[in-house]
Amino acid sequence: MTQMTEEERAYYQQTRRSIFKTPESTLGRVGCGVGLVLWFALLLTPCALFYMAMYGQITIHHANIPEPEAHPWVQVQLVMEPDNRGLRVTTSQSQSTSEHDMCVQTDVRYLLWQSESDESQNVSFCDCYIRDDEDADWAFTEQTGGSCRGE
The 10s digit of each residue's pLDDT in 7-43 is 888 888 778 777 777 888 989 899 999 999 999 999 9
Judge whether 70 and 81 are in contact, CB under 8 Å: no
Computed from CA positions of residues 63, 80, 47, 33, in that sequence, does the dihedral angle turn out positive or negative? negative
Judge whether 88 and 72 are in contact, CB under 8 Å: no
Q: What is the value of pTM for the model shown?
A: 0.69
Radius of gyration for the chain, computed over Cα atoms and rounded to the nearest angstrom: 27
The 10s digit of each residue's pLDDT in 75-110 is 999 988 888 888 999 999 988 767 788 888 999 999
Instruction: Report the amino acid identity of residue 59.
Output: T
Alpha-carbon gap, residue 136 to 122, rounded angstroms:
34
Report which DSSP code applies to 120. -
H or E element at residue 18: none
Alpha-carbon gap, residue 108 to 72, rounded angstroms:
11
